[in-house]
Amino acid sequence: MKLAVFDFDSTLMDGETIDFLAEPLGFKDKVASITEMAMRGELDFFESLIMRVKLLEGLEDKKVNEICHNLPYMPGADETIKALKKDGYKVVVFSGGFRNATSYAKEILGFDADFSNILHSKNGRLTGLVGGEMMFSHSKGDMLKRLQAILGISIEDTLVVGDGANDLSMFKYAGTRIAFCAKDVLKKEANVIIEEKDLTKILEFI
């Protein structure tokens, strides 16, 4: 068995979920600029997440799900996941984004499991609070080590794909490290760099 781990935002999905969620509240540009700084590694991921989710306070749950169920997936996402599974990979998503988006994408794209964060809501609206499995810059690496131990999968049989600074921690534990349309901070640690928005390009390296 082999393991393939994908980031979600700007990797399996074309864009950042939180930017889409901020749009109806009029905070898209503000949130996008914080996201950008975090992905370049200029801002602590945890602090940036707390700051951005706070701006979503008051958004209706119904609206959150509507947005998360209509996100644009990256070209080639479906074909790439199918091909990896056919080749004996377990395909998992680690996202600093939200379960509303990743669990829905799991049904559409067919990956095996998703680990992400949960937007807290009360009385049908977001409270501006968040919790979950991917809150810190080290969360993805930590979760990858645990999965490898449970599944008995080596670093050599692990492939990871990401685009930003919060993917760095999982790069430490993977033999194939793919920077997909990525920030420079991640490209430096990658052994495969893909600059085209087409996930099927990954298949040339497995």
User: Mind telling me the catalytic residues?
Assistant: 7, 9
Q: How many CA atoms lie within 13 A of 183 on its CB side?
A: 17
Extract the runs of DSSP E, i.e. beta strands, from the chain. 2-7, 89-98, 113-122, 125-132, 158-162, 176-180, 192-194
Give the chain's radius of gyration (CA, Å): 16
Tokens of 190: 């990658």
Rounded-to-integer distance, Cα 45 and Cα 185, Å: 14
Dihedral of the alpha carbons of 173, 179, 182, 184, in degrees to the nearest 10: 70
Alpha carbons 178 and 125: distance in angstroms, whole number: 37
Q: How far apart are CA 182 and CA 127, in angstroms?
A: 32
In whole angstroms, give the CA distance from residue 112 to residue 90.
6
Tokens of 56: 């979503």
- Residue 149 tokens read as 């131990």
